[in-house]
Amino acid sequence: MTQAPARATLHSQLAAMIRRKPITVTPDATLRDAVQAMAEHRIGSIIVVEPESGRPIGIFTLRDLLHKVAAKSCDLDQMIMSVMSGSNLLMLNWRSTVYQAALVMARHGVHHVIVVDAAGKLVGLISQKDIYELQSGGAKAISGAIRSARDVDSLVSAAQEIRRLAENTLAEGGAAEALTELISSLNDHLTVRLIELTQIDFQLPKAPWAWLAFGSEGRYEQTLSTDQDNGIVFAAAPEDAAAVRAAFLPFAAEVNKRLDACGFPLCKGNVMASNPELCLSVDEWHGRFSSWLRSTTPQALLDSTIYFDFRAIFGEESLSEELRTWLRKHIPDATLFQRFMAQDALRAQPPLGMLRDFSFDDNKDYPHTLDLKTQGTRLFVDVARILALANGIDETSTTERLRAAAAKGKFGRDDIGAVIDGFFFIQQLRLRQQQTGTPMGMANRVDPDQLNELDRFVLKEALKQARKLQGRIKLDYHL
């Protein structure tokens, strides 16, 4: 079995996971040849490739051997192409992430994804077991329970297990980056399965569609306290969009309701797929994006902080990529909007005092506390978003955006490392605070006097990194 490098994460590129040359046969090989090769190399699947181009055209697995051969007493001397699985072959570019591969497997209920290079030539094979190697034992068990769930009650139980696992991992000293990645990964799997089960109860339009995640979920940055931020994109002609939307809305409302039952509260701002304004055709989403880019109103700026952090969780991911391509094409011309976004990102300042370590806001309910979200992680998130939009960076994760910006020469490698460490330290404090069962209003707040001396010092240094990051866009936009 492929062994992933120890430092690989779910955000690693698939190329980093390929540790051995894939075993292949050509279409004219016999079934006997393929089975013997699988036995010799002790592998559970073999890929069929075109002899000239090296492009994969099919896959034959142990499951195929059981159901297509043994169960039907097939001739072992027939050509492999007659029993391989070739239609709807699941392939990903080697620059895709392990996370994307996990989602593809979850969506389609398969155990392997073929990896190809930019020319479509076979590079390797990623299996579900390879991905499990990156997860803890508890995550494996929960993933299996989600995959086999047959009703919403089972998913409610799985959601409780996800939170319990996250809390235990945090108590054991788990790092914020790995922990938020773990939470997001398992929550995604749960959402995928919940949508699959809900689809059974509805007659959905035949139009291609995708379930979108926005905000922290879109950035893979969910914590222990998070509500829903989601929408739907579908493909339809302008004259059909209203009818298609009307057909999707009852289904979306039920998904939102069931997610709420699983512990993801309904969004108070109605940023949910059941909102007709967030269940749109591709062209309608283009129109909404365009209206935000032309506007400099506070609402447009607020909307951009939510909806420009999007990704597809279920359905036709190509629709999400079409939206991203449109945004990448049009954002460079929206220079005034970028400038206003930068100004808005600077409105919140790190709560650092001139004479004392920290400064405090005017919150009367929780005096002498710092808001670790609004005055902490959000400072990093907002700048990373601007850098991504302005520089054609497709990543939605804050840290991946920052790393990509560094790769484009916007930061020094050491500088960006310190910035990311600062971001994750504040995330860690947020997770610790949420774990304590504090009132909702204190879920993202902390009294620095309640921290030990080391944590107070590191928090101050982390906030200095946020200030340094803000200085980057001050320079870029001459603010």
Residue 8's pLDDT is what? 64
Q: Identify whether 307 is part of a domain.
A: yes
> Which of 79, 97, 132 lies at the terminal end of a domain, its last residue?
132
Residue 137's pLDDT is what? 59
**Nearest CA among 48, 54, 108, 52 for reference residue 84:** 48
| Same domain (yes/no): 251, 210 | yes
| Same domain (yes/no): 44, 151 | no
Q: Identify whether 8 is part of a domain.
A: no
Cα–Cα dist 453/209, whole Å: 51
Residue 104's pLDDT is what? 81
Residue 134's pLDDT is what? 64
The terminus-to-terminus CA distance of the chain in angstroms comes to 53
pLDDT beneath 70, residues of the chain:
1-10, 67-74, 87-88, 132-137, 172, 174, 225, 355, 413-414, 437-438, 440-441
| Same domain (yes/no): 59, 172 | no
| Same domain (yes/no): 319, 346 | no
Tell me the residue range of the domain where 417 lies: 337-476
Residue 72's pLDDT is what? 59
Residue 450's pLDDT is what? 92
Instruction: Look up the CATH number of the domain holding residue 309.
Output: 3.30.460.10
Helices (H), 200-281: 215-218, 241-261
Q: Identify whether 239 is part of a domain.
A: yes
| Same domain (yes/no): 173, 290 | yes
Residue 3's pLDDT is what? 42
Burial 11-32, CB ≥16 within 10 A → b, else e: bbbbeebbeeebebbebebebe
| Same domain (yes/no): 128, 165 | no
> Which of 113, 132, 151 lies at the terminal end of a domain, its last residue?
132
Cα–Cα dist 65/74, whole Å: 10
Instruction: Look up the CATH number of the domain holding residue 428.
Output: 1.20.120
Beta strands 91-93 and 112-116: pairing type? Answer: parallel
| Same domain (yes/no): 364, 302 | no
Instruction: Look up the CATH number of the domain holding residue 44.
Output: 3.10.580.10
Residue 235's pLDDT is what? 97
Q: Identify whether 1 is part of a domain.
A: no
Q: Identify whether 9 is part of a domain.
A: no
Q: Identify whether 414 is part of a domain.
A: yes
| Same domain (yes/no): 410, 316 | no
Domain count, the chain: 3
| Same domain (yes/no): 168, 200 | yes
Q: Identify whether 378 is part of a domain.
A: yes
**Nearest CA among 157, 130, 131 for reference residue 146:** 157
**Nearest CA among 239, 467, 470 for reference residue 345:** 470
> Which of 279, 307, 330 lies at the terminal end of a domain, its last residue?
330
Cβ 33 vs Cβ 26: under 8 Å: no
Cα–Cα dist 365/354, whole Å: 24
Say what the alpha-carbon torsion angle 352, 353, 357, 358 is, to the nearest 10 degrees.
Answer: -60
Structure-token pair, residue 196: 């699959």
| Same domain (yes/no): 152, 250 | yes
| Same domain (yes/no): 372, 288 | no
Beta strands 91-93 and 56-61: pairing type? Answer: unpaired
**Nearest CA among 464, 468, 220, 216 for reference residue 353:** 464
Encode pLDDT of 182-241 as tens digits. Answer: 888 889 999 999 999 999 999 999 999 999 999 988 998 888 767 899 999 999 999 999
Q: Identify whether 231 is part of a domain.
A: yes
| Same domain (yes/no): 182, 207 | yes
Residue 358's pLDDT is what? 93
